[in-house]
Amino acid sequence: MIETLKARAAALRPELVRMRRHLHQHPELSFQEYETAAFVASELDKLGIVYEKGICGTGVVALITGRNPGRKCIALRADMDALPIEEENETEYTSRNKGVMHACGHDVHTSCLLGAAALLQEYRDQFEGTVKLIFQPGEEKNPGGASLLIKAGVLENPAPSAIYGLHVYPQLPAGTTGFRSGQYMASADEIYITIKGKGGHAALPQQTVDPIAVAAMVITGLQQVVSRKSNPLSPTVLTFGKIAGGHATNVIPNTVELEGTLRTFDEDWRREALAHVKQITSQICAAYGAEAIIDIPDGYPSLFNDPETTQQARSFAEDFLGADRVKDLDLRMGAEDFAFYTLHTKGCFYRIGTSRNGGQYTQPVHNSRFDIDEEALQTGAGLMSYIALRALGC
Ligand code: NI
**Same domain flag for 138 and 276:** no
319 classed as catalytic: no
What's the confidence (pLDDT) of residue 38? 98
- How remote is the CA of residue 4 from the centroid of ligand 1, in Å? 31
**Same domain flag for 101 and 240:** no
Residue 358 has pLDDT above 90, yes or no: no
Q: Final residue of a domain: which of 273, 295, 317?
A: 295
- How remote is the CA of residue 256 from the centroid of ligand 1, in Å? 32
What would the mean pLDDT of 14-32 be, rounded to a whole number?
Answer: 98
What would the mean pLDDT of 156-165 be, rounded to a whole number?
Answer: 97
**Same domain flag for 180 and 43:** yes
- Look up the CATH number of the domain holding residue 120: 3.40.630.10
- How remote is the CA of residue 334 from the centroid of ligand 1, in Å? 10
Q: Which of 15, 28, 43, 81 is catalytic?
A: 81
What's the pTM? Answer: 0.93
**Same domain flag for 159 and 219:** no
Indicate the number of domains in the chain.
2
Cis before 301? omega within 30: no
- How remote is the CA of residue 23 from the centroid of ligand 1, in Å? 15
**Same domain flag for 56 and 170:** yes
Residue 141 one-letter amino acid: K
**Same domain flag for 134 and 255:** no
Model confidence at 13, in pLDDT bands (50, 70, 90)? very high
Q: pLDDT (tens digit, 9 = 90+) per residue, 60-81?
A: 999 999 999 999 999 999 999 9
- How remote is the CA of residue 243 from the centroid of ligand 1, in Å? 27
**Same domain flag for 138 and 68:** yes
Q: Final residue of a domain: which of 247, 280, 295?
A: 295
Domain that holds residue 258: 189-295
Instruction: Name the residue with higher pLDDT: 1 or 249.
Output: 249
Residue 109 has pLDDT above 90, yes or no: yes
**Same domain flag for 70 and 156:** yes
81 classed as catalytic: yes
What would the mean pLDDT of 290-313 be, rounded to a whole number?
Answer: 98
**Same domain flag for 243 and 367:** no
Q: pLDDT (tens digit, 9 = 90+) per residue, 200-232?
A: 999 999 999 999 999 999 999 999 999 999 999
**Same domain flag for 230 and 89:** no
Q: Final residue of a domain: which of 250, 274, 295?
A: 295
- How remote is the CA of residue 78 from the centroid of ligand 1, in Å? 10
**Residue 217: HSE in the Cβ half-sphere, 13 Å Cα cutoff:** 16
Q: Which of 79, 139, 189, 266 is catalytic?
A: 139
**Same domain flag for 118 and 171:** yes
What's the confidence (pLDDT) of residue 357? 83
What's the confidence (pLDDT) of residue 315? 98
**Same domain flag for 176 and 46:** yes
Model confidence at 394, in pLDDT bands (50, 70, 90)? confident
Kindly report each contact of residues 151-160 with a partner whose C-beta sits within 8 Å and lies 24 or more positions away, as own/partner.
Answer: 152/55, 152/56, 152/59, 154/55, 154/59, 154/61, 155/75, 155/341, 155/344, 155/345, 158/63, 158/70, 158/73, 158/130, 158/132, 159/73, 159/345, 160/73, 160/74, 160/75, 160/132, 160/345
What would the mean pLDDT of 133-153 be, rounded to a whole number?
Answer: 97
The per-residue pLDDT of the chain, averaged, comes to 97
- Look up the CATH number of the domain holding residue 261: 3.30.70.360
- Please give the backbone phi and psi of residue 246, each rounded to the nearest 5 degrees, phi first: 85, 165
Q: What is the CA radius of gyration of the chain?
A: 24
Burial level of 122, CB count in 10 A (0-12/13-18/19+)? middle
